[in-house]
Structure 1
């Protein structure tokens, strides 16, 4: 019997018992009706926040689509202008070449 009491540590046993009591009380508190109402309110708040965030995301996505479409239109207009300028340059170069050839032919 004396061996059992030598290994007995009242402090560790008290801490263990306190932990068991706290755990049991904690489970009861977490499972109470008040706690469930609190969880429901927290979940509702999270769902409201999610809804708000999704509205913002949708708005940003729509704006991004508009910006993308406008950017495509700008690039198409620039390409069209560049093609017109290039055609004018080719036409001017061809006319200058013809004039030069006519002058060379006339001089000869």
Structure 2
């Protein structure tokens, strides 16, 4: 005996097969290929733009790092000069 539950399952299965077959036909059509090509081209353009931006950010970060290292070297040299002066003054007052 066919009850309503078995018929419902059969209907869902048939609908899935029909939808799958139509989907494969739709996805392999020439129009779909044009859409895929356009989307891929847009993704490649976006990748190029992102890579240019990333390169610019990396260059700026390298410049900032170099300037910060230079500032620290200058500060260390000034501190060393101050320590030297303090040592000379201290020895001069001791004599």
**Shorter-normalised TM range:** over 0.9
Residues of 2 paired with 1:95 and 1:28: CA distance? 96
Aligned length: 93
Q: Which residue pairs with 2:20 in the alignment?
A: 23
Partner of 2:41: 44
TM (norm. structure 2) is 0.92
The one of 11, 14, 31 aligned to 1:14: 11
Distance in 2, Cα, partners of 1:70 & 1:59: 17
SS class of match (2:65): helix
Larger radius of gyration: 1
Whole-Å Cα distance in 1 between the matches of residues 7 and 78 of structure 2? 92
> Matched residues in 1 for 2:62 and 2:8: separation?
68
Name the TM-score, length of structure 1 as normaliser.
Answer: 0.81
Partner Cα distance (1:19, 1:77) in 2: 74
Whether 1:95 and 2:92 are equivalent positions in the alignment is yes
Larger mean Cα displacement after TM superposition, 81-90 or 12-21? 12-21
1:86 aligns with 2:83: yes
With 84-93 and 11-20 compared, the bigger mean Cα shift is at 11-20
SS, match of residue 20 in structure 1: helix
Which runs of 5 or more structure 1 residues have no equivalent in the other structure? 1-5, 99-108
